[in-house]
Structure 1
């Protein structure tokens, strides 16, 4: 993860926080509360554990996500959205709505139905 020294506007900082294929999806998956690494891996189709860990670490760096380490064996860690992450989630939900609208407009509701995502008909 490369961190720029200078930005032309604050939006560039946010772009750096969430750029990549998986970060917005990770934020969305944490919308209902904390999840373990295994839960996130199961819930995000196509992501590898290595990529998930990399993106979680980057989101932690930016203060969007944090983790709780529980004592005992086996090791148990849960990730959750910070206050900044909760703000980011609001934007991600809007992005989700835009994606749903697009799919509906283009007659691609089979995908939404297969995922159990509700939409206006």
Structure 2
């Protein structure tokens, strides 16, 4: 989800940008995010088949909440 908050991405781009993830695991996670309507998938006609993934409005809101929690966590670590 973090990578999709930056730009539209293809499966190949996501694989390159997420270190250590297998294509199988990535597809499982993408399908789960699709099921929860956190991301959307756009399929383009033609050969080779092109598919792009992007955040939905719900996904964008969740990402904003995660960023806030991250900032709070960093602030708490600095206070310790």
TM-score (norm 1): 0.58
* Contact 1:36–1:77, Cα closer than 8 Å, also in 2: yes
How many corresponding residue pairs? 77
Runs of 4+ in 1 over 2 A off after TM superposition: 94-99
| Matching residue within 58, 64, 67 for 1:93 | 67
Higher relative contact order (CA 8 A, sep 6+): 2
Task: Give unpaired runs (5+ residues) of structure 2.
Answer: none
**Aligned mates of 2:19, 2:72 — CA distance in 1:** 21
1:43 aligns with 2:27: no
Q: Specify the SS of the correspondent of 2:40.
A: strand
Alignment RMSD? 1.7
2:30 matched to which residue of 1? 56
User: Offset of 1:91 from its aligned partner?
Assistant: 1.6
Task: Give unpaired runs (5+ residues) of structure 1.
Answer: 1-26, 106-121
The structure where strand makes up a greater share of residues is 2
1:80 aligns with 2:54: yes
TM-score (norm 2): 0.85
Q: CA separation of 1:96/1:37 partners in 2, compared to 1, >3 Å: closer, same or farther?
A: farther
* Contact 1:68–1:77, Cα closer than 8 Å, also in 2: yes
Q: Specify the SS of the correspondent of 2:47.
A: coil
